[in-house]
């Protein structure tokens, strides 16, 4: 028994495994303490049930009913889902966020990756300053960011126009229908590029220095090192960032909702699927249909996010 | 900040520094604009160049206006935000830490399934739940109370995931064994020993939860209708609606712009300060947690 008190002798440390299987698959002498595992997990489980499971279940339940003028609330099976799938407004919103996803997310993550590589390269003066400075917008609430950028875009006292005048460039109306999606994309990029940079930077930091030294000895240049060592190292983090960005994009609400006050004619109540669900419920009182839209939206999000995750994991294993 | 991350042996590159300088400008110029605009009265706001001062320095006058308008409703919103952030984020960080620790350090039936549940829950889009959450909470009678904002804020699957990975690394099994043999109960071990080792991970989760709750807009917008309980985000956008005439009155209240701008500035200061002060902690926590799958 008492022998286990002396494990601090210099035991041969296992080599720093670079990739370890997830989960605590370590020595398992926890017998008899298992109940504490439940106890520690229980508070989370409680709030998870209240905050996620119950609303999810309730949404599913609601989506099978309809409020009728005659007959009150009736069970309609999949009618709400059929309606959602054929709903032009809903589909237009989905296409809009999909387009947003295909353009904004690669731009943002590309910039984040470049910034992370630059900060990690050791060739940047005052790297710490850049790291924290580019990250700061993440601390700005989406509402404030949207208000700020909305004012910057706007013709009332917009900086965009002022800078255009200064440089003699004709700046287009960034709050017009043609530019709105790009303008919102810029706000989202501004908010999250630093956050993603940090996630990727943290991944880069785990590369042991010896690996670079070995590569250099083999005559690898900076680009070779970036391609063969750094990119593989950030791939899991990049996959995680991509999944988060996909989820965020499908849920797009705050930015367009705030911009709507600044450009009411341009952003409709169904501009994004999430705005559509919100307006159905709170301006249209169509709670059942809104629940079905939310469930479909959640389903689409989960499927796309999952597909990307599986694809990136397969790539991972294929290496 | 730490030296070992950026080996000093490499030559600094001016071109790279310049390119990154552009990105830094992109990140910070809007904030410079926000500060400059907070120092202006309505007339200067409309007429002067955005990145420089206007006629006179009105920052303190603007701040006074923000704090006193409508019997100090802004302060009330600030207090609400503080409440939601401190209780919500603090609670979320604590709940996540305990759950992640439980998953990492104890073997019990269903542990694998619960770990999978947590991972899957990360992908559950929180905002898609907002409408049913509203309906459910209104049935339970807690709509338009702080509980409606606080309860969902406590759920942070990503926090649990991060803490599970972090705890597996940071708290050696040998330490737990030693504590047991010394007669320390599991809870006491957790509070007196493990929690200290988990501090960087805890701070990381806390800061991310803090940002999430401080910036929360969608949920409070839905579950609150009494301005007395609004957080800053919802209140500020209401002021913006007044300024742009979108509030339904049809009248543009131009004098609201300095209020919105200065109120926005005040709303972001606490978080920026928190990040700057705690950066050493959260960066090391992030490094440990974000990279392993």
Residues A70 and A214 both lie in one domain:
no
Q: Let me know if residue A137 belongs to a domain.
A: yes
Residues A120 and A208 both lie in one domain:
yes
* B5 pLDDT above the threshold of 60: no
Q: Let me know if residue A127 belongs to a domain.
A: yes
Q: Let me know if residue A123 belongs to a domain.
A: yes
Residues A243 and A294 both lie in one domain:
yes
Q: Let me know if residue A124 belongs to a domain.
A: yes
Instruction: Tell which wins on pLDDT, B249 or B10.
Output: B10
- Are the Cβ atoms of A143 and B105 closer than 8 angstroms? no
Shortest CA distance from B223: residue in chain A: A282
- Are the Cβ atoms of B123 and A39 closer than 8 angstroms? no
User: pTM of the prediction?
Assistant: 0.86
Contacts of B17 in chain A (CB under 8 A): 124-126
* B103 pLDDT above the threshold of 60: yes
- Are the Cβ atoms of A40 and B190 closer than 8 angstroms? yes
- Are the Cβ atoms of A27 and B173 closer than 8 angstroms? yes
Least-confidence region, from A9-18, A27-36, A152-161, B136-145: A9-18
Residues A231 and A286 both lie in one domain:
yes
pLDDT average, residue stretch B1-8: 42
Residues A58 and A119 both lie in one domain:
no
For all residues of chain A together, what is the average pLDDT?
A: 84
SS (H, E, C) chain A: CHHHHCCCCCCCCCCCCCCCCCCCCCCCCCCCCHHHHHHHHHHHHHHHHHHHHHHHHHHHHHCCEEEECCCEEEECCCHHHHHHHHCHHHHHHHHHHHHHHHHHHHHHHHHHHHHHHHHHCCCCCCHHHHHHHHHHHHHCCHHHHHHHHHHHHCCCCCHHHHHHHHHCCCCCCCCCCCCHHHHHHHHHHHHHHHHHHHHHHHHHHCCCHHHHHHHHHCCCCHHHHHHHHHHHHHHHHHHHHHHHHHHHHHCCCHHHHHHHHHCCCCCCCCCCHHHHHHHHHHCCCCHHHHHHHHHHHHHHHHHHHHHHHHHHHHHHHHC
Return the pLDDT at B211.
87
pLDDT digits (tens, 9 = 90+) for A161-176: 888 888 877 888 888 8
For all residues of chain B together, what is the average pLDDT?
A: 85
Residues A205 and A118 both lie in one domain:
yes
Residues A60 and A158 both lie in one domain:
no
* A144 pLDDT above the threshold of 90: yes
Domain that holds residue A64: 36-75
pLDDT average, residue stretch A30-38: 73
Domain ends where: A46, A75, A104? A75
Domain ends where: A47, A75, A103? A75
Instruction: Tell which wins on pLDDT, A305 or B88.
Output: B88
Residues A156 and A197 both lie in one domain:
yes
Domain ends where: A21, A48, A75? A75
Shortest CA distance from A207: residue in chain B: B5
Give the distance from residue A76's alpha carbon to the nearest chain B alpha carbon, in angstroms. Answer: 18
Residues A64 and A162 both lie in one domain:
no
Q: Let me know if residue A242 belongs to a domain.
A: yes
Shortest CA distance from B153: residue in chain A: A51
State residue A65 phi and psi, 5-degree precision: -120, 165
Residues A201 and A97 both lie in one domain:
yes
Tokens of A276: 């559509």
Q: What is the CATH number of the domain that holds A206?
A: 1.10.3720.10
- Are the Cβ atoms of A237 and B290 closer than 8 angstroms? yes
Residues A196 and A292 both lie in one domain:
yes
Return the pLDDT at B247.
57
From the candidates A1, A9, A55, A311, which should be mutated to test the interface with B, based on the most B CB atoms within 10 A? A55
- Are the Cβ atoms of B237 and A4 closer than 8 angstroms? no
State how many domains chain A has.
Answer: 2
- Are the Cβ atoms of B267 and A144 closer than 8 angstroms? yes
- Are the Cβ atoms of B12 and A125 closer than 8 angstroms? yes
Q: Let me know if residue A4 belongs to a domain.
A: no
Q: Let me know if residue A27 belongs to a domain.
A: no
Q: Let me know if residue A152 belongs to a domain.
A: yes
ipTM of this predicted complex? 0.86
B70: left (phi over 0), alpha (psi -120 to 50) or beta: left
Give the distance from residue B68's alpha carbon to the nearest chain A alpha carbon, in angstroms. Answer: 20
Contacts of A287 in chain B (CB under 8 A): 131, 135
B230: exposed, middle or buried (Cβ count in 10 Å: 0-12, 13-18, 19+): buried
Residues A105 and A251 both lie in one domain:
yes
A110: Cβ contacts below 8 Å, ≥ 6 apart: none
């Amino acid at each position: 028994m008492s022998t286990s008190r002396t494990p601090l002798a210099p035991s041969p440390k296992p080599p720093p495994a670079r990739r370890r299987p997830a989960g605590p698959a370590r020595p398992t002498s926890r017998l008899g303490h298992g109940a504490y595992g439940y106890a520690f997990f229980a508070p989370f489980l409680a709030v998870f049930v209240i905050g996620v499971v119950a609303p999810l279940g309730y949404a599913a339940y609601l989506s099978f009913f309809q409020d009728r003028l005659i007959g009150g609330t009736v069970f309609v099976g999949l009618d709400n889902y059929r309606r959602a799938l054929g709903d032009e407004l809903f589909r237009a919103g989905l296409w809009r966020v999909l387009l947003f996803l295909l353009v904004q997310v690669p731009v943002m993550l590309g910039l984040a990756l470049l910034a992370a590589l630059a900060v990690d390269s050791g060739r940047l003066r005052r790297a710490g300053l850049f790291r924290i400075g580019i990250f700061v917008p993440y601390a700005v609430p989406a509402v404030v960011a949207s208000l700020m950028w909305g004012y910057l875009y706007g013709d009332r006292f917009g900086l965009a126009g002022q800078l255009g005048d200064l440089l003699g460039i004709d700046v287009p109306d960034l709050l017009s229908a043609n530019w709105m999606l790009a303008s919102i994309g810029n706000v989202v990029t501004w908010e999250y590029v630093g956050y993603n940079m940090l996630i990727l930077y943290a991944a880069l930091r785990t590369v042991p220095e010896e690996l670079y030294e070995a590569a250099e000895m083999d005559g690898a240049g900076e680009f070779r090192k970036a391609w063969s060592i750094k990119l593989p190292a950030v791939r899991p983090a990049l996959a995680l960032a991509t999944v988060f960005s996909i989820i965020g994009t499908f849920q797009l609400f705050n930015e367009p909702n705030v911009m709507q006050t600044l450009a009411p004619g341009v952003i409709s109540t169904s501009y994004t699927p999430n705005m559509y669900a919100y307006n159905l419920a709170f301006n249209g009182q169509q709670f059942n249909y809104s629940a079905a839209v939310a469930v479909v939206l959640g389903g689409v999000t989960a499927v796309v996010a999952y597909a990307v995750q599986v694809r990136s994991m397969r790539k991972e294993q294929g290496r | 900040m730490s030296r070992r991350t950026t080996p000093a042996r490499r030559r600094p590159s001016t071109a790279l520094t310049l390119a990154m300088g552009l990105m830094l400008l992109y990140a910070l110029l809007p904030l410079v604009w926000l500060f400059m605009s907070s120092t202006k009265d309505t007339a200067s706001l409309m007429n002067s160049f955005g990145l420089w001062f206007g006629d006179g320095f009105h920052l303190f006058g603007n701040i006074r206006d923000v704090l006193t308008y409508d019997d100090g409703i802004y302060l009330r919103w600030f207090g609400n935000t503080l409440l939601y952030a401190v209780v919500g984020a603090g609670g979320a960080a604590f709940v996540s830490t305990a759950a992640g620790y439980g998953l990492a350090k104890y073997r019990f039936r269903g542990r694998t399934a619960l770990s999978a549940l947590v991972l899957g829950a990360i992908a559950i889009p929180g905002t898609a739940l907002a409408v049913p959450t509203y309906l459910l909470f209104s049935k339970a009678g807690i709509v338009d109370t702080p509980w409606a904002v606080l309860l969902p804020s406590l759920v942070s699957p990503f926090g649990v995931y991060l803490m599970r990975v972090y705890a597996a690394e940071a708290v050696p099994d040998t330490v737990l064994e030693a504590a047991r043999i010394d007669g320390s109960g599991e809870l006491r071990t957790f509070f007196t020993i493990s929690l200290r080792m988990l501090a960087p991970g805890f701070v990381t989760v806390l800061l991310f939860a803090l940002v999430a709750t401080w910036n929360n807009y969608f949920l409070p917008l839905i579950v609150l209708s009494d301005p007395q309980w609004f957080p800053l985000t919802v209140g500020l956008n209401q002021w913006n609606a007044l300024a742009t005439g979108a509030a339904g009155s049809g009248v543009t209240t131009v004098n609201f712009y300095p209020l919105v701008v200065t109120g926005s500035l005040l709303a972001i200061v606490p978080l920026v300060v928190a990040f700057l002060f705690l950066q050493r902690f959260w960066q090391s926590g992030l490094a440990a947690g974000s990279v392993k799958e």
